[in-house]
Structure formats: structure tokens, C-alpha cells
Chain A
């Protein structure tokens, strides 16, 4: 298939539905656009009437009155032109924005639906670029592109009609350089875009270098590498300068080109039109009007240079976004997925679960099997990297869990709707990230809590209320660059508060107390234990404290379940015993 038919196919398949959907707005916009151009060509024509009227120099007593009419009509045409111009831009540009809104929302929803395994195989930066840059191109296609295409056609049709009605010879002469001009502009537009992208890319490289250097500043300074990094930086900086200068050459041509387009037309009218006036082929009024018409064509002509690029890029971007939208998550609801009513305490059953790492190498979990009765309190312990987090995430189907391995109340989780599964399981990740603009946003996301009393109660139970109250705007304090930065422990407690406001049937807690000191951890632990009472809980932890509270403890080692039982029973297991006693000593040492 050739490139152009491919593009045509893209346009038909992907762009056409939008044109159809918004045909009403487009039709209105085009109608107003025709009105604008009609009003616009009227002004030079009226100017011609006025100039011819006065240059006739006949002593017609009506001349002054007729001149008044001409002026009045010019004013009316100007008003009509302004109104239709606003209306046409509004309808067409707005449609571009509407399409943008819609495509962006669909793309984001899809981004949310793709599973971690899909992301592991694709560049996340590329996904982001498709949802930002490509959608920008799509908007330009449906807004600016459509408007300019229609405007160019309308302006040429209107101006040419008027010019031809005055003098076909002068029209032919004035437009003679235009084919060449189109060719120049077309190339110029392409080159400008290419160099602009070149400059952007080199800025990206510069930013990338700086970002790494800043993040690795400990190493740069620690190894006395400042001079070497400065030299590298200078190379990247110089490279960026070169790219920008290449862009500058092209960019500096833009304004002169524009002046050339308008100036050269006026030159032709001056020379040839002047000649025709002298030889009485056109009137002096027509001479003036021609200047107006050529002026009218300047912008549509220049826009042509961009137009083709805008259309091409827009179609290419539509293709790229469509690719993203057509990506199928591996982990998704099966056709037969059920939305069963899971209430109260659930039984969690894992049956010989084996999970291989994404790269096909070592096993992350092998032959793990256990059953947690409804309401049972289960601890998951083991060293770092023993598979605690993976085990919890498997229950959420964040990994592609094989069928017949994990069951909730006898239902294979692969047969459950993902939404059912994940809303019935409450999950507290190990390294909490706050999703939100303010503390309130971050704490209430995914919960139904919107009243302050409820939120504050949860904050109090998570032992974070005093920290929040101490902030300048309390719950509404902004997070992030221009707001507060919270410590890991504070973030963890905020996320615990969030969890406390939900009521899942199963709670998966991944080292919830890891970044807190002993005293805080003790207070929060009590609340978490109270929360866990009404549900089945799997609690992964490094801190082997109050282990008697758990009904059962799973000891993982290198992805295998090496021991299982209540605390007393496990004290005979050497690894468990050492982990436990170590914790006791750490605490004793910390508190002396």
C-alpha cells in the first residue's frame, strides 16, 4: 500500500467519524467563513467605487452624498466581517477543542485500563507522548487545519472572482509567482517543523543530561567529577546551541517571507496595474482594489505552508493514538467474568501458585499454597525480596495470575470482574504515593468520604491529625512543588487514614509501619488491628511485633512458603526465630 493511500485510509477510518459527529458545528463554521470572505471582498470593491467616484472629478452635486454611502457600506461590511469571523472561528476552533477533550479522555481512560504487564513491555514515556503531543496534533487537525483549509479555499474563490471581474490580465500577472511561492512555502513549512523538532530534541537531551547530573549530584561531587561533568555539559550545551541556531536561520526567514508575499504582489500591481491604468485598461479604483485583494490572500497563502504539515501530522497522530487505544490489556475481565456479591469476611485460598518473572528468568513465587479462613489474621514475613509484595499483588491480579490458583470464597479470581475484586480488597502499597492536589484529595480518593468529621476521625486514628492541623491550610494544604513535602512516614499514615475510611472484605497491608518510629508504629498498629478485626487480613511485615495477634504466619523465602503456623509454633523455625529476636533487640536498643 502506498503512503498516500495509507494516509487516505487513516483519514477515512479515524478522522471521518469525527467530521460526521460534528458536522453541524462544521457546517455552521463554514457558512460563517463564507460570510466573512464575502464581507471581506466587499471592502476593496467599495473602496474602488469610492476612488472612482472622486477621481471622475465630475461636478455631480450628489458625489458627497454618494461618498457617504460608500463609507457607510464599508463600515457595515466591516461589522459583518467581524461578526462572521468571530462566529466561524468559534464554531471550528471549538470543535477542535471538543475533539481534543474527547480523545484525551478516552486515551486516559485507556491508560488506566492497561495492566502493569502491558506497561512492562512498552515505553511509558512513549505512552505519555501519545496522550500529550499527539493529541495536540489531532486538535490542530480538527481546528486550525479545517479552518485554514476552508478559509484558503474561500478566500481564493472570493478574491479571484472579484479580481477576474476587474481584469483577467492583471489577475494572471499578479498570481503568476504564486505557484513558485506555494512550493517555497511548502518546503519552508516542512523545514521549519523539522528544525523545530530538532531543537526540541536537543533540548530534551540537555534536560536529560541535567536531570541525571542533578539526581546524581552526590556522586558528581563525592568523586570530584565537577570539571569532567562541566566539560560534558558544555558539549551538550553547545550541541543545543547549534540546533537552535539551525532553527534560527529558518525562523528568521518567516517574517521576511511574509513581507515578500505581500510586497511582491503589490509590486506587480504597481508596475503592471500602473501600466494598465495609464493605458485605460483598468480604473485607478481598480488599481487600489487589487492591492486590497492581494493583501487578503497573504495570510491564506502563508498558511498553506503550515497547512499540509498540520494535516499530515494530525493524521499520523490519529494513527498513533489509535494504536494506543487498540492496545489490549492482558489482565482484563473475561467474557464470562462475574460480578458476584462478595460480602463480609472472605476465605482466601491459594492453590499451588507459581509465578515467573516477566523476563522469564527466576521464579518470583513457586508452589505457594495456603488457605485463610474468613476473618483470619495472616502475617506474611520473610526477608527483603522473598516475595511478600508479589504475593499480595497477585491477589489483586496485578500480575497475570494463572487460573485455578487463587480463590476468593471458592471463586477463581480470574472469573471475577476486576472491579469487584479490587473494590472488595483494600490494598495499602509499601511505598505510598499521594494522588491528589491537596491533602483532602489524597486522603479521600477512591473512598466515599466527603465530610470533614469523617476524614478527621480517620486522620486521628492514623495518628496524622496533629501533623495535618499544623499545616497552614489543614486539609486543604497543597501538596507538591509549591506546597508541602511530606516524609515517607507521614505519607504512609495518610494512606492508612484513607484505607480506614473504606470497608473492604479483605485487607492487604504491605509493610504499613515500615517508615515510622516505634512509638508511632505502636499507636497506628492498634488502629490497624481494630480495622482488621472485621475482615480477612494479609499483613506483610518486616517488624515482627505482637506476632501473637496473628492467627497464622506465613514465612516466605525466595518465593517459597517455607513455614506456616501461629507464632508459638514458628518459634522453633530458625529463620523466624532469628527475625523475631532481632526485632526484640532492636527495640530494646532503640529505647535504652
Chain B
């Protein structure tokens, strides 16, 4: 289990541009095949916004032409029209919302696939640098935020703006003086809502941060309860939790207050405007410059008009966070792996020949790890690599499988530089049992077959070969549950499953980067048996700390300080009485086989 640094999570800051044309273009690039629908949405936006203007106007017509003159026929006409407009509005709105969400979800689907495809193509350098949690956030939360651009973003913003402009136009047309009196309040409305929105944004940010802190502390406490109680951290943790909990509460109280004031003051302003309409409009009416219907329509328009203005800046926030996320997502899409497939891949006949020719390599430019490694594993040969920890043994394996490219020299597979082979080809030819075995949550079958197809008999057979002793009778062993990371299995069992996973695929070259720390003697026995059995059946390259397993190797390489210091068969090296001979003495001392 990898334990990640701390329980604190920060949420990103939000100094982001409102609209980023470059990013918008790139998102637009994922709408192929949907563009005519996007066009429909774009055209329908003003229509849906515009149709909402009709109802107050119909009300005015009804009051002036039907109700006041007492004309029942006209009343029926306007009531009918009103119902028709209402139906059109409902239909239009539903259609538009549905369309936008559909487009948003389609784009999300595509972007997510594109992003995951990209992630699958990245190399070890990326994964050793970026914690998997960060990549996960890109693939989930960030994409969801982009999708909001469609569902709640640009088009609805357009609809709102069209509606506002339309209302203002109609009001001016109905009665310019009354309209201008109404508009007097607009700057005030804008200032008030912007003022409180700002405060609200800050409050929300504090809330989010506190929530992240609460959740993170809660989950690490629950996950590591043994450490917490063993060190008696409870009182301190409770106190810290109370702090964050209290900050959370206060940030929320802040948002409650500001939200209530914003809501109430917009409501108040609209009522005051209605009062002003009665005052001025009434006098206009008495002087015959306006009809009663216009006044009624104005009252309706005023109420329609305030809410979108109040919510305008909330929609900004959606846009902002969408673009902030888009920047991160496209940053990842633009990441180029250093290790890539060649343009014209070669495919040499599989023989099982692996070699390194004067390989130099370092993870960082100024820290060399390998300084001139030369060796060749002939077909069906058995090469063992030994040496102290941290001197480059595992790096050799990584280079053999092209997880990194060499700085100079070359790695050859069946006589061809592996940079000329397809990556998948390289990896399928050289399967490895690595030190850190990862098992997926699921069952034994899932972990053996992965995404390939194998029949149950073959899988059971290979489990027998490695000596994975099922607690359940066959073939149920394949259905035995494996919990995430293989936590319900012992280290040894995990190793054996990993070995079975490799043998099942019958690779031409099998690499064993042996786990050192947690292997019990039983597992070691199994590994040793398999190794002897496979000797001569395929090429094997084994990194070993347990030397009993490799005495029969065709060649043993002693790697220290990034160089091969000694090489030869077991007997030759013993005769040299160098470091290897010392190691063997060490090993013999380990009568009981303890590993560090």
C-alpha cells in the first residue's frame, strides 16, 4: 500500500480568465458530428429567450383590448394565445436544455476517452512524477467542469442576455419614460449583486477548502486508526477537526448571510420598482399617456428581469472554473511521452535474444545510474544479475522493457534496437514479475487474464505450475476474490499470482525482478522450482538477492556502481573470490533465509 504524504488537500485558486478563445476552440474540436446540433442550440437560444417576452405582452393586450372593454371573444382569443405561447415556451425550453446536456455529455464522453487514451500512452517518467490522484482528478472533476460549459454555460448565458435585451427593448417600445425609470435601478442592482457575489465567492471558496480538509482528515483517520490510537493522537486530532469544523461552519454562516441579503435585496428592489411604477405610471395613466395593460405588463417584466441579473455572476463562475479545468485537461492531453512507438516498426523473428550494448543511463541528467552495461542473453539462456540495492539492477530491467530510453548505447531484442520495435511488442516479448506486484480488485481470473482471453484450464494449469495453493477447490479458485491491491492475500501469494500471470502468456523472455522484503521460504521454494523448470524453455533474466535461485545461471553479472564488476558462472566467480564470493558467503549464513 502506498501511503501518500498527508491528509491535507488544497483546492485550486481561481484567478482565471472568464473566456479563453484558444481553449474554447480546442473544446469545439471535440464537437465534430454534433455541430449542426450546436447550431440548432445557438439559433434556438434567442428564440427561447425571446418567446418568454410574449406572455406579459399578451397580458397587456388582454387587459387593454378584452377585459377593460368587456370583449369576451377577444378574451378567449388572448387566453388561447397565452396557452399556446406557454406550451411553446415549455417545449422550447425543455428541448434546449435537453439538447445542451446531450451535447455536453457527448463531448464529455469523447474528451474522457481521448484523455484516457493519452494517459495510456504516457511513459514511466510521467507516472513517477505525477501522483495517480492528480491524473484521476483530470479524468473526473476537471472534465465534469468542462461539461458544465454546455449544460449551464455559454448558451444559457446567451439566452439570458437575449432575454434581458429583449425585455428592455419591449419596455422602451411600450413606454420609453416608464422604461427609463425602471432602468434607473439597474446599475444599483448590478452593484449590489456583484458586491454580494464577490463575498459569496470568497465564502464558497472557504467552504470548499474546509470541506476538503474535513474529508481528508476523516478518511485518513479512518484508514490509519491503528497509528492514531497507538500514538494517542485522538485529543489533538479531535481538536484540529473541531477547528476546521468550526471554520467550515463560519464560512457557511458567511455564505448564508450574504446569500440571504443578496436574495432579499434583489426582491426588495423589484418591489420598490413596482411601487415607482404605480407612482409614475399612475400619473402617466391619468394623463392618458399609458394604458392600464402596459402597467400590468411592466409589473410582469420587472419580475422577469431581475432574477437573471442576480444570477449572472454565478454563471461567470461556472465559465471560469470550466476554463480553469480545460487548461489543466489540455495540458495533460499535450503531454508528450518521451518513449514512443517508431514510425516503421520492425518485427524480428522471436528468438529470445536480449542484449545491452554499452548502455549509459540516468534518471536525472547529472546523476548517472548505469555507466556502460554490456551483456547478451542468448536464446533460452539464463542470465542472473546480482549486486547491492540501489546500484542499478532494477534500472536494467526497466531499460530492457523500454520504460525509459537509454542515454547512449542500445538495447537489442532479437538483434534489433528496441526503439525500432512497437512498445507493445517489446513488452509482450519480455514479460516481467516485478518487485511491486499490483493486483486488481476482482477475482483471480481477472488478475491472470487481465484484458486478454484465456481458457480456465490453462489458467488453472499455470496456477498449479507456480504452486499457488487454492483454499478453494478448482475451478472455483479462479473465482476467489482478490481485494483491491491484493490486500487479502499474503505477499507470497501475490508474488505467485504475478508469476502465473507472466507464465500464462508464455513470453520468449521472462524477467524476474525478485521481491526481496516479504517473501517467505515457501514462496521462495516455488520460485526456485519454476525457475529450474523453465530453464532452457525460454530466455530468463533474473535479478536476485537470494542466490540459491541463480547458481545454475549461464552467466552471473555482478552490478555495482552502474557497472558490471564481475561476470561468469557461479564456479568462475567463486574462484575469483571477489564480491560475489562474499555475497555467497552471506547467503550461506542465511540458513533460515531471512530477507531485509
Task: Write the A200-221 contact mask toward B (1 if CB under 8 angstroms, else 0).
Answer: 0001001100111011111111
Task: Write the A170-185 contact mask toward B (1 if CB under 8 angstroms, else 0).
Answer: 0000000000000000
Question: In the complex, A437→B282 CA distance in Å?
Answer: 64
Q: Of A119, A233, A445, which contacts B237 at CB under 8 A?
A: A445
Question: In the complex, A255→B232 CA distance in Å?
Answer: 53
Q: Of B233, B271, B388, B595, which contacts A445 at CB under 8 A?
A: B233
Q: Of A275, A419, A575, which contacts B592 at CB under 8 A?
A: A575
List 20 A-B residue pairs with CB atoms under 8 Å apart, sorted by A's residue number: A68-B279, A75-B275, A82-B268, A94-B256, A115-B225, A127-B222, A207-B136, A217-B132, A221-B427, A233-B116, A241-B106, A263-B86, A287-B63, A422-B232, A435-B220, A446-B236, A479-B5, A481-B10, A483-B5, A579-B594
Contact (Cβ within 8 A) A111 B132: no
Q: Of B102, B136, B140, B219, which contacts A245 at CB under 8 A?
A: B102
Question: In the complex, A581→B259 CA distance in Å?
Answer: 72
Interface residues of B in 506-531 (CB under 8 A from A): 517-518, 520
Q: Of B86, B256, B450, which contacts A90 at CB under 8 A?
A: B256
Contact (Cβ within 8 A) A435 B242: no
Task: Tell me if B333 counts as interface (CB < 8 A to partner A).
Answer: no
Q: Which residue of B lies closest to A228 (CB)?
A: B451
Question: In the complex, A578→B245 CA distance in Å?
Answer: 54
Task: Tell me if B536 counts as interface (CB < 8 A to partner A).
Answer: no
Q: How far is the CB of A493 from chain B (nearest CB, A)?
A: 14
Question: In the complex, A232→B113 CA distance in Å?
Answer: 11
Instruction: Say whether, besides A43-B271, A90-B256, A241 and B109 are in contact (CB < 8 Å).
Output: yes
Task: Tell me if A525 counts as interface (CB < 8 A to partner B).
Answer: no
Instruction: Say whether, besides A263-B89, A396-B230, A71 and B278 are in contact (CB < 8 Å).
Output: yes
Instruction: Say whether, besides A63-B286, A259-B89, A592-B579, A436 and B105 are in contact (CB < 8 Å).
Output: no
CB contacts (< 8 Å) of B589 on chain A: these are 577-578, 581-582, 585
Question: In the complex, A486→B3 CA distance in Å?
Answer: 11
Contact (Cβ within 8 A) B8 A248: no
Q: How far is the CB of B591 from chain A (nearest CB, A)?
A: 5
Among A8-16, A345-353, A425-433, the stretch that binds chain B is A425-433
Q: How far is the CB of B158 from chain A (nearest CB, A)?
A: 16
Task: Tell me if B548 counts as interface (CB < 8 A to partner A).
Answer: no
Question: In the complex, A442→B240 CA distance in Å?
Answer: 12
Contact (Cβ within 8 A) A237 B231: no
CB contacts (< 8 Å) of B91 on chain A: these are 256
Instruction: Say whether, besides A434-B6, A480-B6, A582-B589, A82 and B518 are in contact (CB < 8 Å).
Output: no
CB contacts (< 8 Å) of A427 on chain B: these are 230-232
Among B310-318, B411-419, B433-441, the stretch that binds chain A is B433-441
Q: How far is the CB of B259 from chain A (nearest CB, A)?
A: 8
Determine the interface band of chain B, counting residues with CB < 8 A from chain A. Answer: 35 or more
Task: Write the A283-306 contact mask toward B (1 if CB under 8 angstroms, else 0).
Answer: 010011001100100000000000
Main secondary structure of the interface of A (DSSP, over half): helix
Contact (Cβ within 8 A) A212 B116: no
Task: Tell me if B228 counts as interface (CB < 8 A to partner A).
Answer: yes
Contact (Cβ within 8 A) A97 B253: yes
Task: Tell me if B274 counts as interface (CB < 8 A to partner A).
Answer: yes
Question: In the complex, A114→B218 CA distance in Å?
Answer: 13
Task: Tell me if B351 counts as interface (CB < 8 A to partner A).
Answer: no
Task: Tell me if B249 counts as interface (CB < 8 A to partner A).
Answer: yes
Contact (Cβ within 8 A) B485 A215: yes
Q: Which residue of B lies closest to A92 (CB)?
A: B256
Q: How far is the CB of B354 from chain A (nearest CB, A)?
A: 16
Question: In the complex, A264→B89 CA distance in Å?
Answer: 12
Q: Of B82, B112, B401, which contacts A222 at CB under 8 A?
A: B401
Interface residues of B in 240-290 (CB under 8 A from A): 240-242, 245-246, 248-249, 252-253, 256-257, 259-261, 263-265, 267-269, 271-272, 274-276, 278-279, 282-283, 285-286
Contact (Cβ within 8 A) A396 B55: no
Q: How far is the CB of B209 from chain A (nearest CB, A)?
A: 11
Q: Which residue of A lies closest to B249 (CB)?
A: A101
Task: Tell me if A384 counts as interface (CB < 8 A to partner B).
Answer: yes
CB contacts (< 8 Å) of B224 on chain A: these are 433
Q: Which residue of B lies closest to A395 (CB)?
A: B230
Task: Tell me if A100 counts as interface (CB < 8 A to partner B).
Answer: yes
Task: Tell me if A138 counts as interface (CB < 8 A to partner B).
Answer: no
Question: In the complex, A508→B253 CA distance in Å?
Answer: 45
Contact (Cβ within 8 A) A287 B427: no
Contact (Cβ within 8 A) B260 A85: yes
Question: In the complex, A89→B262 CA distance in Å?
Answer: 12
Contact (Cβ within 8 A) B220 A253: no
Question: In the complex, A422→B20 CA distance in Å?
Answer: 56
Q: Which residue of B lies closest to A122 (CB)?
A: B222
Task: Write the B123-139 contact mask toward A (1 if CB under 8 angstroms, else 0).
Answer: 00001000111111001
Contact (Cβ within 8 A) B271 A542: no
Task: Tell me if B59 counts as interface (CB < 8 A to partner A).
Answer: yes
Task: Tell me if A423 counts as interface (CB < 8 A to partner B).
Answer: yes
Q: Of B72, B133, B236, B451, which contacts A229 at CB under 8 A?
A: B451
CB contacts (< 8 Å) of B72 on chain A: these are 275, 278
Task: Tell me if A78 counts as interface (CB < 8 A to partner B).
Answer: yes
Contact (Cβ within 8 A) A43 B218: no
Among B93-101, B169-177, B198-206, the stretch that binds chain A is B93-101
Q: How far is the CB of A268 from chain B (nearest CB, A)?
A: 9
Interface residues of A in 263-277 (CB under 8 A from B): 263-264, 266-267, 270-271, 274-275, 277
CB contacts (< 8 Å) of B452 on chain A: these are 225, 228
Contact (Cβ within 8 A) A210 B136: yes
Q: Of B71, B90, B271, B485, which contacts A260 at CB under 8 A?
A: B90
Interface residues of B in 488-510 (CB under 8 A from A): 501, 505
Question: In the complex, A393→B228 CA distance in Å?
Answer: 12
Contacts A219-B450, A224-B423, A244-B101 aside, 15 further interface pairs with beta carbons under 8 A come to A43-B271, A50-B282, A100-B249, A112-B237, A203-B140, A210-B136, A212-B484, A229-B120, A251-B97, A478-B10, A481-B8, A483-B5, A577-B589, A583-B596, A589-B579
Q: Which residue of A lies closest to B279 (CB)?
A: A71
CB contacts (< 8 Å) of A168 on chain B: these are none
Q: Which residue of B lies closest to A243 (CB)?
A: B105
Among A51-59, A408-416, A463-471, the stretch that binds chain B is A51-59
Q: How far is the CB of B14 from chain A (nearest CB, A)?
A: 14
Contact (Cβ within 8 A) B226 A116: yes
Task: Tell me if B44 counts as interface (CB < 8 A to partner A).
Answer: no
Instruction: Say whether, besides A238-B109, A241-B108, A446-B232, A77 and B271 are in contact (CB < 8 Å).
Output: yes
Contact (Cβ within 8 A) A244 B140: no
Interface residues of A in 157-205 (CB under 8 A from B): 203
Question: In the complex, A233→B115 CA distance in Å?
Answer: 11
Q: Of B79, B249, B263, which contacts A97 at CB under 8 A?
A: B249
Task: Write the B438-462 contact mask toward A (1 if CB under 8 angstroms, else 0).
Answer: 1111000000001110000000000
CB contacts (< 8 Å) of A37 on chain B: these are none
Q: Which residue of B lies closest to A437 (CB)?
A: B8
Task: Tell me if B569 counts as interface (CB < 8 A to partner A).
Answer: no
Task: Write the A433-454 contact mask toward B (1 if CB under 8 angstroms, else 0).
Answer: 1111100011001100000000
Among B8, B105, B131, B505, max chain A CB count under 10 A is at B8
Q: How far is the CB of B338 from chain A (nearest CB, A)?
A: 14
CB contacts (< 8 Å) of A433 on chain B: these are 3, 220, 224, 227
Task: Tell me if B571 counts as interface (CB < 8 A to partner A).
Answer: no
Q: Which residue of A lies closest to B588 (CB)?
A: A578
Task: Tell me if A128 counts as interface (CB < 8 A to partner B).
Answer: yes
Q: Which residue of B lies closest to A221 (CB)?
A: B427
Task: Tell me if B78 counts as interface (CB < 8 A to partner A).
Answer: yes
Interface residues of B in 186-226 (CB under 8 A from A): 213-215, 218-226
Instruction: Say whether, besides A220-B120, A245-B102, A267 and B226 are in contact (CB < 8 Å).
Output: no
Contact (Cβ within 8 A) B232 A483: no
Q: Which residue of A lies closest to B86 (CB)?
A: A263
Contact (Cβ within 8 A) A435 B246: no
Question: In the complex, A228→B449 CA distance in Å?
Answer: 11
Q: How far is the CB of A371 from chain B (nearest CB, A)?
A: 22
Task: Tell me if B544 counts as interface (CB < 8 A to partner A).
Answer: no
Question: In the complex, A81→B263 CA distance in Å?
Answer: 11
CB contacts (< 8 Å) of A481 on chain B: these are 5, 8-10, 131, 133-134
